[in-house]
Amino acid sequence: MRSRAGDVAAASGFIGIPGQTFNFYISPTGSDSNPGTLTLPWAVTAVNTKRATYAGQRVGFLPGNYDVSGLMGTNEAVAALTIAGGTSSANQTYFGSSDASGFYLRGTATLDAKGASGLFGGGNANASPIMAARSGTNFWTIDGLRFTGFSMWAFHVGDSPSGGNGPTNWTIQFCEFTGGSAQNNTVSNGVNLGPIINYSGSSGLVTQNYFHDNLGWTDPLHFSCIYQWGLGNSATVGNIYSFNTVVNSSNFQGKEATQYNTEIAYNYFDMTLCASGTDVTAAPIFGFMADNGLGTLSKFHHNVMLHQGMGIVLYNTNIASTYVRTPAHVYNNTFVAVSEHAAGMLIGGYVNTGSGGTTHNVSSWNNLFWDNGIAANAYGYVMTGIDLFALSDFNMYGGWNLWGSVPDSSSGSTPLTAYHTLAAFRTGFGTDANSLTNTANPFTNGGTFADQFHVLSGSPAFNAGRIGGLITGAQCNMGAWDGTGRPGATWVS
């Protein structure tokens, strides 16, 4: 299994493999009867027909638009392009974007599911992804490709729910997912859609990708930017989603058991244009807490989140009870309210030991909440049971002066006990002794994306946090900008 901490740290500075060439090449004008060289490249269909040849090798997509609309079909289990994996970390299958000279260059190759058909996904009744790594396809990397024109999905990791063993040791990096829409798809109703759907894939890394301007079906409850499922024959374990930029493409959602040990870090979410009707569609991070007593720790940290509803919701849909079941650390996140629906900016999770919930298993520190001039919703900054937190401290709240608790046996927002001062919240929860409220703008840097919310010297959040959320910890900034990395994809400006 890959090193979790090492992956997150490395992802901020790794930019593909500049200067590297490939073993085989694919071109928009190539042919599968060619040898796959730079001068005589394969066609894009070689992804399906040459698996035994390229498995464990480096394959470069030469510049251009690859119209795969004719390869899209009506069966979710059949992708337009189904990749072969490698045999070990040293012998990975690698698909990368290439310049005309045969060297890696991000963004030159576009896989277009709309293409000449003029229809998203190649047809209104189509239900296949552009690319997939199916059950048992391990050790592979997708680097620098553009995915567009899809309807239901761009990429599948593994088989559909409740089938197959998920792929392990896989990476999707430096890719762009844009221009997808299922608005006219006639078979999308009630189906979980998104640019990437991970069916039980483990030890995966999704990093430095740009997701923007993608639309689901008219049912927003079933559309997320990334879905992580736990219904396969193997558990979904140890995946990292880091340094991604997500704009107008919904959220990251972990759904169903069995899944654990997830890390979501250093991402930028802009949910400004997303539906705000429910917590699931409006929360940038939703779910990931389905299992009881399985695995160790999931971590959600250093994310910048512009959100319509709750900021982070740690429970799951479609299970017997919506309770927090596994340990989680939530720290150094920046929450920015963007509408009157913004509420419950931290946790919408519940505790019920009789139904598999666990008390005192969530720790929260160094989180920065910015009201952004938005009036308080009924839930306030926190809405959960008072027994949820093992630690909550060194957080910076804004001017709402509203926190909420529900009984441990509750699985909803009522009956709600409101706390209208930080002092009352401290007493009620027994937490946040060193947290504070602040109504001054804590951001002192301009720019775009995550740069808008950079905490610099002079900000009220500067050096106001503590490493680990402990009074004995070294000083650090509150929020996502604490000096350890820039949230969002570093190549997106």
List all residues 6 or more positions away from 39 whose beta carbon is below 8 Å from its beta carbon.
none
pLDDT tens digit sequence for 347-388: 766 776 666 667 888 999 999 999 988 888 878 899 888 888
Q: Is residue 493 part of a domain?
A: no
Q: Is residue 482 part of a domain?
A: no
pLDDT reported for residue 190: 86
Claim: this prediction has a pTM higher than 0.75: yes
Residue with tokens 């808008």: 452
Which residue from 323, 329, 406 is spatially nearest to 358, judged by alpha carbons?
323
List all residues 6 or more positions away from 393 whose beta carbon is below 8 Å from its beta carbon.
364, 365, 431, 432, 433, 434, 435, 466, 469, 470
CATH number at residue 399: 2.160.20.10
List all residues 6 or more positions away from 26 whose beta carbon is below 8 Å from its beta carbon.
36, 41, 42, 43, 44, 46, 47, 59, 60, 61, 62, 66
Q: Is residue 202 part of a domain?
A: yes
Cα–Cα distance measured from residue 151 to residue 123, given in angstroms and rounded to the nearest whole number: 9
Q: Is residue 490 part of a domain?
A: no
Q: Is residue 296 part of a domain?
A: yes
In the 3-class helix/strand/coil scheme, how is 122-135 assigned residue by residue?
Answer: HCCCCCCCCEEECC
Q: Is residue 77 part of a domain?
A: yes
Q: Is residue 486 part of a domain?
A: no
pLDDT reported for residue 220: 75
Cα–Cα distance measured from residue 477 to residue 301, given in angstroms and rounded to the nearest whole number: 13
Residue stretches of the chain with pLDDT short of 70: 1-17, 275-281, 292-295, 316-322, 348-349, 352-357, 409-413
Q: Is residue 158 part of a domain?
A: yes
DSSP 265: E
**Domains: count for the chain:** 1
Tokens of residue 222, six digits? 């079933």
Q: Is 164:130 a contact under the CB 8 Å cutoff?
A: no
What residue numbers bound the domain in which 427 lies?
4-476
Q: Is 32:43 a contact under the CB 8 Å cutoff?
A: yes
Give first-to-last CA distance, the chain, whole Å: 33
